[in-house]
Amino acid sequence: MNSNDLETELRKQVCVKYGMQKLDAQDCLHVSEQIFRETKNYVSQTNLKRFFKLDQPEHQNSQFVLNSLAQFLGFVDIKDFSSSLVSPDEDVN
């Protein structure tokens, strides 16, 4: 799975966990607070707006942001999240 597909899936699953189909800028503040409560990682509202392409759509997300979002979903890190998406038919090499 390429990084764009991975981030798209991460976006979808964060929205599902938050109980929304799509997040707006104000939701990013609440998600930021929820991530901090659950993971003790601080991901700012601004970083979340960038991640959800509400601001600077071509922004490259940091490994910290990706890992924090994966942890918010119950995974160890973004690699663990990525591994969970690989179907048994795909070669993981």
How many distinct structural domains can be found in the chain? 1
Is residue 76 in some structural domain?
yes
For residue range 38-90, list pLDDT tens digits in order: 999 999 999 999 999 998 778 789 999 999 999 999 999 999 999 999 765 55
Structural domain span for residue 71: 3-84
pLDDT at residue 87, as a whole number: 63
Is residue 58 in some structural domain?
yes
DSSP secondary structure, the chain, as one string: --HHHHHHHHHHHHHHHHT-SS--HHHHHHHHHHHHHHHS----HHHHHHHTTSS-TTPPPPHHHHHHHHHHTT-SSHHHHHHHH--TTS---
Is residue 7 in some structural domain?
yes
pLDDT at residue 56, as a whole number: 75
Is residue 89 in some structural domain?
no
For residue range 58-71, list pLDDT tens digits in order: 878 999 999 999 99
